[in-house]
């Protein structure tokens, strides 16, 4: 291939260093997105490693520059792997980059300084690069929701290409006659390896940016659809989910139950203990409600001290059993806040689509009326809309 190794190596090194700087800047503004710091360090190490290796394209070479270049590049791939793990789970094995650095340093010292053998050195380095890039690809080929899966699999494919390239490089060098290979050898393997590696490194960088972009978009969407205090759905996302569930009820003939919950004497709690205690009451109620509902139910903060629960495939009587259990548990909960100890109660109103119709507004109005009837009857109770006549 008529490709200039020096030009390709300079470009790859420069792109890696620029990408490292870009990620460092992104990390300053990415909020809680994890893994960016590891990716930035990884790209920096790879860029510096290629810069050191660049000086060895023409003989005579400095063996210590080769040792440092290979060690830095392998350390960088280790940081890239750690960045993927941290991005996915928030955890990683912090020793992986240093383990790779130690292995690379040892084997390059051995095959470059102590017992010079370029074939053995290239094969050993290529196998280490193959293993860590294959591990990075494997970590990204997982089932995850779209569109993040597209970014994961695109980046994973780029790592897989690099891994295959290094495996082929190791095999080809192993099959070559002794003392016929070098970085400056005029054989197709060198330019082909640098070309594929350079393009794949650019794809990996692009994949990281895609992963960050989709994660940020998902986080922003989550912020827009959840209540900041309690972490449950907000009113807007509840209404969207209700529209979907009611459409399904219309098609399948299922019944949807709605539960409206209001904290009794909540204004008095705020006035007597302070708003931060009132917030703690709402968070305690949220935690208990999340433990009480089924996996397919939907809990949302409807506004102020009011909460709403959607119960698919449920009638009023089914919802009443869950609601009364929640009422009893909450009434028996002691809430401690900064030395203050208090108990609170809730009033709950229930309606279902069989009695109130398939319009979400009608369901909310019916459940709301039942909830206010519960307050009028003495609070700390559950009322079903169908059990009372409303004018």
Is 337 contained in some domain?
Answer: yes
As given in the structure block, the two tokens for residue 149 are 């899966």
Residue 205 confidence (pLDDT): 83
pLDDT in the model for residue 1: 46
Indicate whether 163 belongs to any domain.
yes
| Predicted pLDDT of residue 288 | 94
- Residue 373 sits at φ, ψ, to 5 deg, of -65, -40
Shared domain for 164 and 185, answered yes or no, is: yes
Q: Are residues 294 and 364 in the same domain?
A: yes
> CATH no. for residue 263?
3.30.70.270
User: Is residue 246 within 8 Å of residue 358, measured between CB atoms?
Assistant: yes
CA-CA distance, 322 to 316, in Å (whole number)? 10
CATH number of the domain bearing residue 120: 1.20.1070
Q: Are residues 154 and 262 in the same domain?
A: no
In this structure, the answer to whether residues 139 and 201 fall within a common structural domain is yes
Q: Do 196 and 91 sit in the same domain of this protein?
A: yes
Q: Are residues 145 and 18 in the same domain?
A: yes
Q: What is the pLDDT of residues 194-247, one digit of tens each?
A: 777 777 878 888 888 888 888 877 777 777 788 889 989 999 889 989 999 999
Both 11 and 57 in one domain: the answer is: yes
User: Quick one: 321 and 213 in the same domain?
Assistant: no
Residue 135 and residue 267 share a domain: no
- pLDDT for the residue 58: 55
Q: Which domain holds residue 35?
A: 5-225
Please give the Cα distance from 208 to 81 (Å, whole number): 12
208 and 342: one domain?
Answer: no
Q: Give the pLDDT score at 391.
A: 37
Number of domains in the chain: 2
Q: Is 329 part of a structural domain of the chain?
A: yes
- Calpha distance 166→77 (Å, rounded): 13
26-56 in b/e burial notation, b at 16+ Cβ within 10 A?
A: bbeebeebbbbbbbbbbbbbbbbbbbbbbeb
Domain boundary among 225, 244, 271: 225
For residue 320, what are the contacts with CB-CB under 8 A and spacing of at least 6? 350, 382, 384
- Residues 148 and 111: beta-carbon distance below 8 Å: no
Tell me whether residue 257 is in a domain.
yes
In a domain, 105, yes or no: yes
- Assess whether 265 and 211 both reside in one domain: no
Please tell me the predicted confidence (pLDDT) of residue 243: 92
Query: Average pLDDT per run of 10 along the chain, which is 391 residues long?
Result: 64 80 75 80 86 61 81 93 91 91 91 85 91 95 86 93 92 79 63 75 85 80 82 90 91 93 93 88 93 91 93 93 94 81 92 92 94 93 79 37
Q: What is the pLDDT of residues 46-77, one digit of tens each?
A: 888 877 766 655 555 677 888 888 899 999 99
* Residue where a domain stops, chosen among 225, 259, 288: 225
Identify whether 230 is part of a domain. Answer: no
Report yes or no on 217 lying in a domain: yes
pTM of the model: 0.66
Q: Is residue 49 part of a domain?
A: yes
Q: What single DSSP character describes residue 336?
A: E
The pLDDT value recorded for residue 262 is 95
State which of 225, 247, 276 marks the end of a domain: 225
Query: CA 137, CA 130: separation in Å to the nearest integer?
Result: 10
98 and 169 assigned to the same domain: yes
């Amino acid at each position: 291939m008529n490709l200039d190794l020096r030009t390709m190596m300079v470009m790859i090194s420069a792109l890696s260093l620029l990408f490292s700087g870009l990620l460092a800047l992104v990390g300053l503004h990415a909020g809680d997105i994890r893994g960016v710091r590891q990716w930035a360090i990884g790209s920096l190490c790879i860029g510096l490693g290629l810069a050191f290796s660049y000086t060895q394209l023409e003989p005579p070479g400095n063996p210590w520059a080769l040792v440092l270049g290979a060690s830095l590049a392998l350390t960088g791939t280790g940081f890239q792997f750690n960045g993927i793990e941290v991005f996915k789970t928030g955890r990683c094995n912090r020793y992986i980059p240093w383990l790779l650095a130690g292995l690379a340093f040892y084997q390059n010292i051995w095959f470059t300084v102590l017992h010079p053998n370029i074939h053995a050195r290239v094969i050993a380095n290529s196998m280490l690069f193959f293993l860590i890039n294959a591990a990075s690809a494997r970590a990204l080929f997982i089932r995850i929701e779209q569109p993040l899966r597209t970014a994961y699999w695109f980046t994973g494919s780029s790592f897989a290409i690099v891994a295959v390239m290094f495996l082929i490089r190791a095999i080809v060098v192993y099959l070559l006659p002794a003392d016929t290979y070098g970085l400056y050898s005029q054989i197709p393997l060198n330019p082909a390896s640098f070309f594929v590696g350079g393009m794949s490194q650019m794809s990996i960088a692009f994949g990281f940016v895609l992963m960050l972009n989709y994660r940020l978009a998902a986080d922003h969407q989550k912020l827009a659809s959840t209540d900041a205090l309690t972490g449950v759905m907000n009113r807007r996302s509840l209404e969207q989910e209700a529209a979907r569930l009611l459409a399904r009820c219309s098609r399948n003939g299922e019944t949807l139950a709605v539960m409206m919950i209001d904290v009794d004497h909540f204004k008095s709690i705020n006035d007597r203990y302070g708003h931060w205690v009132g917030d703690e009451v709402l968070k305690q109620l949220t935690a208990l409600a999340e433990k009480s509902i089924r996996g397919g139910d939907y809990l949302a903060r409807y506004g102020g001290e009011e909460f709403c629960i959607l119960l698919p495939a449920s009638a009023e009587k089914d919802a009443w059993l869950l609601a009364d259990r929640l009422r009893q548990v909450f009434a028996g909960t002691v809430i401690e806040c900064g030395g203050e100890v208090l108990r609170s109660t809730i009033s709950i109103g229930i309606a279902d689509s069989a009695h109130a119709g398939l319009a979400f507004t009608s369901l909310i109005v019916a459940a709301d009326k039942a909830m206010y009837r519960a307050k009028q009857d003495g609070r700390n109770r559950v009322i079903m809309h169908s059990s009372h006549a409303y004018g």
